[in-house]
Chains A and B, each alone.
Chain A
């Protein structure tokens, strides 16, 4: 089965630094998502992206966050100035079309902010 690939699997950074989390969605998919899970808490929606623009974002997705699909294959999440509370597992997901509700998830990037 096709896969969503995320890199790196673990990222350690200092507070205040910028990080970029990378994702390669399934090649013919059109809808892209970022979710995160703080340890012991729920998986939370961050943002959805379609047709080269954000279609929906949560309250968590403030000005420190941005997403980009720079080259038609990668889908990135940038955190401009990381905070301790950004430490979490970040999941990328994609799906093929609006009629299909099945999301394909990557295995996640564990971000640790020190």
Chain B
């Protein structure tokens, strides 16, 4: 079945450091790919998405490119801020009903 694998956390960075959170997937067909973010005490929020190969999703300085050849959707940001501290979830759509399959989440902590 379809699945998503994320790099283990937690990831601890200093402010203004470069961020990469790896995400790879296994899927039949061509799912859409997503990054969701969960700030402390809040629900999961859509950060960005890509719907087909080579698409780049971007939002708030974060980017991820849908790479079909490597089945990856790595999240990157050039310069993180303390306010980016959160849990980041990679996910793919599974079927037409809106069901998402998530990775296990990666905790990011950014220190001043």
Contact = CB atoms under 8 A, between A and B. Distances in A.
B98 A48 contact: yes
B43 to A, nearest CB: 4
Interface string B26-49: 000000101010000111111001
26 contacts: A31-B98, A35-B100, A40-B104, A41-B104, A42-B102, A42-B104, A42-B105, A43-B44, A43-B91, A43-B102, A43-B105, A48-B97, A48-B98, A91-B43, A98-B98, A101-B34, A101-B51, A101-B93, A102-B49, A105-B36, A105-B43, A105-B45, A106-B43, A107-B41, A107-B42, A108-B43
Nearest to A97: B98
A108 B42 CA distance: 8
A109 to B, nearest CB: 11
B44 A105 contact: yes
B43 A56 contact: no
A72 B41 CA distance: 27
A102 B47 CA distance: 10
Instruction: State the main secondary structure of chain A at its contact with B.
Output: strand
Given A40-B104, A42-B105, 20 more contacts: A6-B43, A31-B98, A33-B98, A42-B4, A42-B103, A42-B104, A45-B94, A45-B100, A56-B99, A98-B96, A98-B98, A101-B32, A103-B44, A103-B46, A103-B100, A104-B43, A105-B43, A105-B44, A105-B45, A107-B42
Interface residues of A, number: 29
Interface of B: 4, 32, 34, 36, 41-46, 49, 51, 89, 91, 93-105
Given A91-B43, A107-B43, A108-B43, A43 B97 contact: no
A55 interface: yes
A42 B41 CA distance: 18
Interface string A88-114: 000101010010011111111000000
Nearest to B4: A42
A20 interface: no
A29 to B, nearest CB: 10
A60 to B, nearest CB: 13
